[in-house]
Amino acid sequence: MSGLRVAVVGVTGAVGQTTLRILEERKFPVVDLRAFASERSVGKTVTFRGDSIRVERIGPEAFKGVQIAFFSAGSAQSREYAPLAVKAGAVVVDKSSAFRMDPAVPLVVPEINAHAVKGHQGIVAVPNCTTVVTVMPLKPLHDAGRLRRVIATSFQAVSGAGVNGVEDLRSQTLAWARGEALTPKHFLHQIAFNVIPHIDKFGAGGYTGEELKLVTEARKILELPDLAVSPTTVRVPVFTAHSIAVYAETEATVGAERAREAFARFPGLRLWDDPAQNRYPMPIDVEGQDDCFVGRIREDLSLPNALNFWVVGDQLRKGAALNGIQIAELLIR
């Protein structure tokens, strides 16, 4: 395969940097890389395959000759510049929320709905990181017993809020160790040694935007427009990897053992479920892994056709950068 001209927008952010690493790891056929970021990063350099690449400013001619453009710079930038990239001839893999619910834009997790890529009109969307981790085990469970209802509570790492979230946890932890006051700078409340039971702004009915993303995106990816989904999001003092406690009700009784078998067979999922040995997924073990890890699988005590389980995924990798690169790999096939 001949090499491709690739652009990464938002290259200096956590997801942009992870995108560069995974492009290298997976030997994605890049012949020329163009790096874009915000105004304050223009002129800096990033490293790719041992070379220093100068960070450029986005403009009307920025995407000339580019074939695939990865966007991870936020919704406003995607809405403004993704159409310019498409007009220039590139296919955009967008990691923001700008186009996810656009009926003309496929929302893709390759292990689940790779077929949706075929209908793209220049833009393919990557789901919210929590959605990606949550739907990975929901798909094999649906295939086994047809999903009817899902209750999902996510415990989200601070890196999901970007470098400022990471710095807030780091600086507060250091301040605690020194006996100093813990002052939040990014989060509304102290995050060190605490949990914050909301992410994003509150909206109608007391649900946040982050919670509603899980509802709408899961329905679109799984192609289940009437799926009942009840979400809660919690920010926790963990640097990387989101964890989700899931209750899943199916039309047919699946049972814990059959669910384990379905999870173990599903690509991109790793069964990590041995309670007798205290073996279950934890963020500290899943950070840096491409697979999502699922465990604590048990039959619900109140309903025979329901299961409870725990799934953890590195939200910078499978939740964002890796999923985007897997989409690009589908495109170039």
239 and 270 co-located in one domain: yes
274 and 155 co-located in one domain: yes
**What does DSSP say about strands 269-271 and 242-250: parallel, antiparallel, or unpaired?**
unpaired
41 and 171 co-located in one domain: no
141 and 189 co-located in one domain: yes
CATH number at residue 256: 3.30.360.10
17 and 155 co-located in one domain: no
Give residue 261's domain range.
Answer: 131-315
212 and 283 co-located in one domain: yes
Q: What is the pLDDT of residues 311-321, one digit of tens each?
A: 999 999 999 99
Count of domains forming the chain:
2
Query: What pLDDT does 61 receive?
Result: 87
242 is catalytic: yes
292 and 245 co-located in one domain: yes
214 and 84 co-located in one domain: no
According to DSSP, the residues that pair with 47 across neighbouring strands are 52
Q: What is the pLDDT of residues 117-140, one digit of tens each?
A: 998 999 999 999 999 999 999 999
Q: Quick check: pTM over 0.85?
A: yes
325 and 257 co-located in one domain: no
Per-run averaged pLDDT (10 residues), the chain, 333 residues: 89 94 97 93 94 92 95 94 96 97 98 96 98 98 98 97 94 98 96 96 94 98 98 98 98 97 98 96 98 98 97 97 98 91
Say how many C-beta atoms besides its own lie within 10 A of residue 300's C-beta.
14
292 is catalytic: no
CATH number at residue 38: 3.40.50.720
The catalytic position among 120, 142, 242, 292 is 242
103 and 139 co-located in one domain: no
Query: What pLDDT does 156 receive?
Result: 98
The catalytic position among 120, 129, 142, 292 is 129
DSSP per position, 86-154 = HHTTPEEEE-SSSSTT-TTS-B--HHHHGGGGGG-SSEEEPPPHHHHHHHHHHHHHHHHH-EEEEEEEE
63 and 82 co-located in one domain: yes
**Own/partner pairs for 166-173, CB < 8 Å, 24+ apart?**
166/14, 166/239, 169/237, 169/239, 173/237
142 and 91 co-located in one domain: no
Query: What pLDDT does 198 receive?
Result: 92
Q: What is the pLDDT of residues 70-108, one digit of tens each?
A: 999 999 999 999 999 999 999 999 999 999 999 999 999
Query: What pLDDT does 173 receive?
Result: 98
Say how many C-beta atoms besides its own lie within 10 A of residue 248's C-beta.
24
DSSP per position, 219-268 = HHHHT-TT-EEEEEEEE-S-SS-EEEEEEEEESS---HHHHHHHHHHSTT
